[in-house]
């Protein structure tokens, strides 16, 4: 599921550049005074206008779905790690309990698991950033 979410996010990142190309096409159309043949343009001007609405809408849908999947996975991982820490805390020996304070266990269960959750939430951003910089 994580790779599916990352693929959605990569597709949305690539689609983010289409409105810029469409606007460039529209500016070229209006600068030349509406040429009779539309072969010099990427799309028909009305297709460009529709694209200016459709592509940002599609990008937002793909990014939202990607973030929902990544947030779901992040919460799942955080819950799993918290459960493992809790079960380990219950089965630790008396000498192990003497070496570990309650504050350390609470810190691991709250802060450290939250860091794992945040990492997975923003994992897609770190993978897509080099692609966006290159393009």
Q: How far apart are CA 39 and CA 48, in angstroms?
A: 14
Give the model's pLDDT for residue 1: 81
Provide the whole-model pTM: 0.73
- Of the candidate ranges 31-40, 67-76, 96-105, the one whose mean pLDDT is the lowest: 31-40
Span 94-106, pLDDT tens digits? 887 778 777 877 7
Residue with more model confidence, 54 or 107 = 54
Burial class (CB in 10 A: 0-12, 13-18, 19+), 42: middle
Rounded Cα distance, 16 and 6, in Å:
15
How many whole angstroms separate alpha carbon 127 and alpha carbon 134?
A: 12
pLDDT of residue 73: 87
């Amino acid at each position: 599921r994580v790779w599916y979410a990352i693929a959605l996010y990569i597709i949305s990142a690539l689609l983010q550049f289409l409105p810029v190309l469409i606007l460039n096409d529209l500016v070229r159309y209006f600068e030349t005074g509406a040429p009779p043949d539309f072969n010099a343009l990427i799309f028909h001007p009305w297709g460009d206008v529709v694209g200016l609405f459709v592509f940002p809408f599609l990008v937002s849908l793909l990014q939202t779905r990607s973030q929902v999947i990544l947030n779901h996975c992040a919460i799942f991982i955080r819950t799993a790690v918290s459960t493992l820490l809790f079960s380990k805390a219950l089965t630790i020996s008396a000498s192990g309990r003497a070496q570990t304070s309650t504050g350390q266990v609470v810190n691991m269960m709250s802060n450290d698991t939250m860091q794992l959750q945040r990492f997975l939430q923003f994992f897609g951003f770190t993978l897509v950033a080099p692609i966006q910089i290159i393009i």
